Amino acid sequence: MRRRAAPPLPEPGLAELAPNERLRRLELTVTRRLDGLLHGQYRGLLPGPGSEAAGSREYRPGEDEVRRMDWAVTARTTVPHVREVDADRELTTWLLVDASPSMAYGTATLDKRELSVAAVAAVGFLTAGVGSRLGALVLSPDGVRRFPARGGRTHLLGLLRALLAAPRPDVVVAPPALADGLDGVGRVARRRGLVVVVSDFLDGLPDDPDAAPPWEVLLRRLAVRHQVLAVEVTDPRELELPDVGLVTMVDPETGRRREVWTGDRSLRERYAQAAAAQRDQVRAALRRSGASHLALRTDRDWSADIVRHVHAQRRLAAAPAAPRGGAA
């Protein structure tokens, strides 16, 4: 009788590997799936016309955007002028990474913290270039940890290693607020560049869906000067409650506990509706702040989601401006 071959063992997940092996896995994933497809010599994750001033010229009706008007030159010459800018050849990227206890949750291949590290790796390798620098602020239960803006692969790998090796607290500790982190980024990011915020954006989210969260005004302030990318990290169990009987839910940041009977169908439906409304609230706040929104989930292919997002951003940047006004 012929013996059947044993089925191959499943490949270990990212969370099961040692830190150095996880770094190698992340680097291979990014370079294979993203780098050759999207990375150019001087192009960042959010390409645009540039931010370095290069003088002014007369305004051309129907071609130029009013928001680029150079009002100082217009006032001196009494002729409408617009600002000209050069494409940035050096990019400074600042990362704000939420490493609070709520980011340690996950029910899929990765947990939310592992996924946030993957997002940081993708941003780091995509924005790497001649003269480009990467800095970070990490919100952890121990406070705000700052990594100075530096260039090079060694600096990026050191940042990723620190994020992967960050201890997970056994006791409930209130982490710094997301608004405090955004305020810190505003103080250190003095030159125009790219700001990437990686979080679940649940911090301080008000019960009133029409009210603005405390971090919205600070994010909007950053978007005035920088290109801002908001990476929203979620887990499927935050959106839908499975029917698994009686469970004890614990808030990782306050320690509050509540027993829930998940066999109640109406409860699961209300949970899904409340979760969807909460995510709509986050999306609306990000849209009002002027940040570009990238949604990542622990149960999806995060590299494919980033590829689609960057492709969409480049199509928008390359598309000609829509003509103003309509036909008479």
Place of tokens 């990290």: 233
**Can you give the pLDDT at residue 2?**
54
Residues 71 and 117 in one domain: no
Is residue 180 domain-shared with residue 309, that is, in the same domain? yes
134 and 225 in a single domain? The answer is yes
Give residue 225's identity as a one-letter amino acid code: R
**Does residue 215 share a domain with residue 117?**
yes
> Which residues have a Cβ under 8 Å from the Cβ of 119 and sit 6 or more positions away?
196, 198, 231, 233, 294, 296, 302, 306
* pLDDT tens digits along 89-145: 568 899 999 988 888 888 888 889 899 999 999 998 888 766 789 999 999 888 899
Distance CA 271, CA 275 (A): 6
pTM, rounded to two decimals = 0.77
CATH assignment at residue 104:
3.40.50.410
Domain that includes residue 73, residue range: 52-86
Q: Are 126 and 134 in contact (CB under 8 A)?
A: no
User: Is there a domain that residue 310 lies in?
Assistant: yes
pLDDT in tens, 200-223: 999 888 988 889 999 999 999 999
- 164 and 264, same domain (yes or no): yes
Closest CA to 42 of 134, 149, 129: 129
